[in-house]
């Protein structure tokens, strides 16, 4: 790799037999899970300058779209979702490695996206499928996996899911607010109906309801991502789409005057040159990475004036200009 | 002549904006082809720092495309790229350590002195920061391998020093409340230190190669060099050069006389001192300036009269020198190559008593003569600083290096000028930059402790939030490192993070079979559930093997400190029972066993096994259970059998064993009654 800032790069072959669809680092950034069209998941230990292949997990009968590491308080747990319509929960146990501890097969079409809830909400996995449904898989105190399904979440399929931070925006700046308001139970979904939906938990119904539908994209939503809450007075949601746009949606913290503030849409930049496939926030929520169909990843940061500016770009090889 | 900005340091942001992977994710130039072949890139952010894992990714599965897709070798490749490594790269470790120590000391002083740090303290700290930057430059310049990266780092550190030094000049040395220090000497010192000119080697070459005045006067570089000396305020060096050249035979008597006059003027240039009043200094200055005005006029007359003579070049240069020294704006502008040079000369020769508050106005006048579109990032940062446009200044500094705005914003906060920025910026600038720097440091194995400090010394909730997230993600590679992370948590009061780390350590130890250590960590996290699970594992191992081997584990846990956990108490009491029984002290063993059962120290799943343990004591030769004791045992058995929540453990005691227990109780009861 060439760059002028002495960054560290480790590169290695994943030994998959077909295209990769996702790669995820665990909570500490020490293990990498990759998944592929060959139906397998490969696990690697990555440590700065070296990597070690750990094992290959085979359990799906179709391409594996995404993998997601659970919070380590639940043990060494990995979830995977596949074109075969199933979600598998894998757990690492001493001596036997990763084994499937649960198979979720209630979807009737490809499961395209999965996301673990913030650990404060317990071991809850959110799944979005081409069968237009969203399901919530919860490991209950009784030791069983409970499934809640939201039918017709998006008319023509769900492509992306993301959990909101459990601490409400503005809670850090209002003493005691975090405790008094309780944990936020909210997630976003993006679908092939070009819309983004925000779902909130209703204590009355004991289920998630649509709180808001965010319209603005003109083609399939490809990814949605809530930014972690680092104490800012508003909530940030990034969405990207087949329409080549990335929008940053912000919502001010609720106040006595306005309990449900409107979401404000800000384009990240001019339209991207191609379909935007993925958006992802850094752990502290201040850097947004965007993967575009032109095969470039750009990193964006909100500057001191509240404007979004590109801070870096990762692209194909070639010596630096 | 087109004018340029300070171009000695090219710290252009574009140089850092693009990261190329080589060999690339795709073969160079075949991006469109790959994109058409169902490929894109996927990535995952690294939890610490700005790194990512990048891989070629399929947009859709073959099954969805309904056609064959070409397979490329790079389909399998993953890049794990760590951004911001430069901020904490090996070459910078000493710098990071030094400046972190200064930063920490500054915060301590602030706590001791109150909200604002005294200017004297701040000046001392500023000098330490600058010394660290200069040391880093020297270190890099002495590096055995001079790579492109090292060259870029040298540029960056020199730029950082120039910015910090000017900040010190403007806000600490000359602009502090109660100080009335003229800006000119400090500014010219800053200019000559950070952008030295004319180069010292030019002077050496000029003077060393000329053994006498004639040889010196013949040198074509003499007069340009002398003009540059005048422009930069090197009046003593100028005087020496002029005095050495004056005796040259090729100079006319008049030219030689004016060379000596200007040399003397250079030596006599008034310098202010703390002991002199402003009025006295101004009077001396006016007299000196008037002398130069006269000299300039006289030399100009001579030059006009002798425009084609052998003295023309010398007279022209002497005239220019006199004009520069008398503060003629046109002469200064003609000679100055950069805006900073021009501003320095104007301050020195036209505004010698101007204070820092005049700098924005003077800078504006100077900048009108330069094409600011050509300015480098460093120029823009310096100009913003001189214009007191602090928000803009910080933004430019952030583009030079993340270290710079973090420490500058902190310094600005300590001297009470950061509120200007807070009024116009959407986030707190000090914490904004400290978080960015802290995150970069935390991601590096050698600087993570400094990173936690930078995050911990933020004052907004955002800093604390990031600190917590980072602390719990630092890989706990060794016990020593784990203790260091825990100490950092204690230092910053991160109770929840501390508990989370203890839980993580507990899991680590448990997996490795170090159950005592695991219990210790879970106890620190107040995770009673996990402690119970480990104790249950120890109990299960005992039941399976029939050998009580958990004694050392329990002893180790208790030796580390008192632990109040039901399961631990049960295991401890049971061990006591076991040892008494083995030692033949059946009476003591019986009383311990009874107390375990009656006090409900035992978990429900162990009750049946304990009842079975009592059978040999009930059936022994000696009566060790009284009638009351026996009735108590029978009540325990009754509770077990009649419980509406039958435990799996209750089921482990077979019907036969319980029958034997019942019979043993009945016999013992009879014997006990008979004896009593």
Q: Strand pairing partners for A35? A: A22, A41
**B57, B82, B107 — which closes off a domain?**
B82
Q: Is B213 found in the same domain as B96?
A: no
> Which is more confident, A306 or A25?
A25
Cα of A204 to nearest chain B Cα, Å: 31
- The pLDDT confidence band at residue B12, using thresholds 50, 70 and 90, is very low
Tens of pLDDT, residues A140-194:
877 889 999 999 999 989 999 999 988 777 655 444 444 445 788 999 999 999 9
Q: Has residue B478 been placed in a domain?
A: no
Counted across chains A and B, CB pairs separated by less than 8 A come out at: 300
Residue B527 lies in a domain: no
Q: Are A133 and A151 in contact (CB under 8 A)?
A: yes
B549 located within any domain: no
pLDDT per residue as tens digits for the range B217-241:
888 899 999 999 999 999 999 999 9
Would you say residue B444 has pLDDT above 90?
no
Between the alpha carbon of residue A152 and those of residues A85, A117, A131, A139, B125, the distances in Å are 16, 21, 8, 24, 63
- Per-residue pLDDT, averaged over A290-307, amounts to 78
pLDDT in tens, B27-60: 666 767 777 777 777 777 776 665 677 787 877 7
Q: Are residues B669 and B634 in the same domain?
A: yes
Does residue B17 have a pLDDT over 50? no
Q: Is residue B167 part of a domain?
A: yes
**Whether B462 and A289 lie within 8 Å, measured CB to CB:** no
At residue B2, the pLDDT reads 37
Tell me what the mean pLDDT of segment B167-187 comes to: 80
Is the same domain home to B119 and B72? no
B chain contacts of residue A293, beta-carbon cutoff 8 Å: 35, 40, 59
Indicate the burial class of B448 (C-beta count within 10 angstroms; 0-12, 13-18, 19 or more). buried
- Touching check for A48 and chain B: CB below 8 Å? yes
Name the domain boundary from B66, B82, B98: B82
Domain count, chain B: 4
Which of A91, A142, A244, A283 should one mutate to test binding to chain B, selecting the residue with the greatest count of B CBs within 10 A? A283
Burial class (CB in 10 A: 0-12, 13-18, 19+), B423: exposed
Closest Cα in chain B to A314: B19
Q: Are residues B102 and B69 part of one domain?
A: no
Q: Which of A220-229, B39-48, B376-385, B656-665 has the lowest mean pLDDT?
A: B39-48
Nearest to B602 by CA among B552, B560, B639, B631: B639
As a residue count, chain A comes to 321
Q: Is the dihedral of CA A53, A59, A62, A63 positive or negative?
A: negative
Summarize the confidence of residues B636-648 as an average pLDDT.
Answer: 69
B584 and B600: one domain?
yes
Q: Is residue B501 part of a domain?
A: no
A11 touches chain B (CB under 8 A): yes
- Within an 8 Å CB–CB cutoff, is residue A312 touching chain B? yes
For residue B322, tell me if it sits in a domain: yes
CA distance B205 to B201: 6
* B319 and B209 in a common domain: yes
H helices of chain A, in order, are 177-181
- Tell whether B331 is covered by a domain: yes
Same domain for B94 and B78: no
* Model pLDDT for residues B314-334, shown as the tens digit of each residue: 899 999 999 999 999 999 999
Domain that holds residue B252: 196-273+281-337
Those of residues 447-466 in B touching chain A at CB distance below 8 A are 460-466
Is the domain of B211 the same as that of B323? yes
- Best residue in A111, A120, A278, A295 for a mutation probing chain B (most B CBs within 10 Å): A295
Residue written as token pair 């979440």: A153
Same domain assignment for residues B640 and B672:
yes
Instruction: For residues B156 and B247, state if they share a domain.
Output: no
Q: Do B143 and B214 fall into the same domain?
A: no
Query: How far apart, in whole angstroms, are the C-alpha atoms of residue B321 and residue A209?
Result: 81
Q: Write out pLDDT tens, residues B536-574.
A: 999 999 998 888 888 888 888 888 777 778 888 999 999
Domain boundary among B53, B82, B111: B82
Q: Are residues B133 and B211 in the same domain?
A: no
Closest residue in A to B30 (Cα) is A316
B535 lies in some domain: no
pLDDT exceeds 60 at position B398: yes
- Which residue, among B394, B427, B448, B469, would best test binding to A if mutated, counting the most A CBs under 10 Å from its CB? B427
**Mean pLDDT score of chain B, rounded to an integer?**
85
**B77: which chain A residues are within 8 Å (Cβ-Cβ)?**
11-14
């Amino acid at each position: 790799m060439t760059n002028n800032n002495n960054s560290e790069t480790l590169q290695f072959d994943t030994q998959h037999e077909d295209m990769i669809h996702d790669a995820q680092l665990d909570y500490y950034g020490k293990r990498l899970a990759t998944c592929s069209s060959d139906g397998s998941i490969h696990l690697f230990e990555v440590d700065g300058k070296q990597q070690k292949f750990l094992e290959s997990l085979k359990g799906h009968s179709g391409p594996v779209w995404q993998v997601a590491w659970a919070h380590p308080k639940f043990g060494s747990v990995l979830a995977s979702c596949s074109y075969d319509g199933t979600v598998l929960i894998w757990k690492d146990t001493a001596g036997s490695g990763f084994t499937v501890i649960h198979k979720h097969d209630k979807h009737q079409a490809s499961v395209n996206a999965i996301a673990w809830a913030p650990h404060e909400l317990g071991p809850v996995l959110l799944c979005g499928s081409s069968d237009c449904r969203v399901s919530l898989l919860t490991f209950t105190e009784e030791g069983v996996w409970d499934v809640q399904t939201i039918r017709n979440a998006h008319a023509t399929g769900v492509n992306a899911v993301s959990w909101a931070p459990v601490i409400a925006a503005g809670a850090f700046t209002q003493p005691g607010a975090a405790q008094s308001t309780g944990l936020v139970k909210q997630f976003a979904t993006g679908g092939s109906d070009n819309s983004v939906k925000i779902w909130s938990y209703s204590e009355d119904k004991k289920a998630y309801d649509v709180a808001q539908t965010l319209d603005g994209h003109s083609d399939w939503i490809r990814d949605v991502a809530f930014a972690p809450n680092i104490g800012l007075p508003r909530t940030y949601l990034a969405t990207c789409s087949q329409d080549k746009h990335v929008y940053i949606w912000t919502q001010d913290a609720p106040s006595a005057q306005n309990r449900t503030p409107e979401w404000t849409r800000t384009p990240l930049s001019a339209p991207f040159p191609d379909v935007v496939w993925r958006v992802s926030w850094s752990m502290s929520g201040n850097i947004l990475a965007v993967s575009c169909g032109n095969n470039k990843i750009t990193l964006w940061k909100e500057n001191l004036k509240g404007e979004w500016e590109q801070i870096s770009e990762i692209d194909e090889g070639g010596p630096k200009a | 002549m087109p004018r340029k900005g300070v171009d000695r340091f090219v710290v252009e942001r574009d140089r850092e904006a693009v990261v190329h992977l080589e060999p690339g994710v795709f073969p160079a130039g075949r991006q469109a082809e790959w994109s058409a072949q169902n490929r894109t890139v996927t990535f995952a952010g690294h939890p610490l720092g700005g790194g990512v894992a990048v891989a070629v990714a399929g947009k859709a599965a073959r099954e969805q495309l309904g056609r064959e897709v070409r397979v490329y070798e790079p389909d399998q490749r993953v890049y794990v790229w760590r951004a911001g490594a430069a901020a904490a790269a090996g070459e910078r470790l000493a710098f990071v350590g030094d400046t972190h120590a200064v930063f920490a000391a500054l915060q301590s002083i602030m706590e001791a002195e109150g909200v604002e740090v005294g200017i004297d303290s701040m000046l001392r700290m500023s000098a330490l920061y600058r010394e660290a930057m200069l040391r880093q430059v020297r270190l890099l310049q002495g590096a055995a391998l001079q790579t492109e990266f090292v060259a870029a780092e040298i540029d960056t550190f020199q730029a950082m020093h120039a910015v910090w030094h000017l900040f010190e000049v403007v806000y600490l040395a000359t602009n502090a409340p109660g100080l009335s220090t003229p800006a000119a000497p400090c500014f010219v010192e800053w200019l000559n230190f950070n952008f030295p000119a004319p180069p010292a080697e030019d002077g050496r070459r000029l003077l060393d190669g000329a053994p006498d005045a004639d040889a010196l006067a013949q040198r074509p570089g003499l007069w340009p060099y002398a003009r540059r000396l005048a422009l930069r305020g090197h009046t003593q060096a100028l005087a020496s050069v002029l005095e050495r050249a004056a005796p040259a035979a090729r100079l006319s008597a008049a030219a030689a006389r004016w060379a000596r006059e200007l040399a003397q003027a250079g030596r006599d240039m008034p310098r202010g001192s703390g002991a002199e009043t402003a009025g006295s200094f101004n009077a001396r200055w006016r007299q000196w300036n008037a002398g130069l005005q006269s000299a300039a006029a006289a030399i100009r007359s001579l030059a006009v009269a002798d425009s084609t003579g052998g003295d023309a070049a010398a007279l022209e240069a002497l005239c220019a020198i006199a004009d520069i020294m008398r503060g003629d704006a046109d002469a200064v502008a003609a000679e100055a190559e950069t805006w900073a040079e021009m501003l320095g000369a104007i301050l020195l020769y036209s505004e010698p008593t101007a204070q820092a508050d005049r700098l924005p106005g003077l800078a504006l006048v100077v900048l009108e003569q330069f094409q600011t579109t050509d300015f480098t990032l460093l120029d823009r940062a310096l100009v913003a600083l001189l214009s007191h446009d602090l928000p803009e200044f910080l933004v430019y500094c952030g583009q030079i290096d993340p270290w710079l705005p973090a420490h500058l914003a902190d310094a600005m906060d300590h001297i009470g000028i950061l509120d200007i920025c807070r009024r116009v910026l959407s986030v707190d600038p000090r914490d904004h930059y400290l978080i960015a720097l802290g995150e970069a440091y935390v991601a590096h194995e050698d600087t993570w402790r400094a990173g936690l400090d930078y995050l911990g010394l933020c004052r907004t909730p955002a800093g604390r939030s990031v600190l917590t997230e980072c602390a719990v993600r630092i890989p706990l590679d060794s016990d020593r490192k784990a203790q260091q992370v825990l100490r950092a948590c204690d230092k910053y009061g991160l109770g929840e993070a501390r508990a989370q780390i203890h839980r993580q350590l507990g899991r680590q130890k448990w997996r490795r079979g170090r159950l005592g250590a695991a219990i210790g960590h879970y106890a620190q996290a107040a995770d009673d559930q996990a402690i119970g699970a480990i104790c249950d594992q120890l109990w299960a191992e005992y039941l399976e093997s029939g050998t009580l081997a958990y004694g050392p584990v329990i002893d180790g846990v208790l030796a580390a400190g008192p632990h109040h956990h039901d399961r631990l108490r049960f295991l401890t009491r049971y061990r006591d029972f076991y040892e008494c029984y083995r030692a033949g002290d059946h009476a003591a063993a019986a009383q311990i066993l009874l107390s375990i059962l009656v006090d409900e120290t035992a978990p429900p799943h162990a009750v049946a096994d304990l009842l079975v343990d009592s059978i040999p004591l009930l059936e022994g030769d000696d009566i060790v259970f009284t009638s009351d004791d026996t009735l108590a045992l029978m009540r325990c058995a009754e509770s077990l059998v009649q419980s509406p929540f039958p435990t799996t453990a209750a089921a482990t005691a077979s019907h036969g064993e319980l029958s034997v227990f019942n019979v043993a109780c009945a016999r013992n009861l009879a014997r006990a009654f008979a004896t009593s």
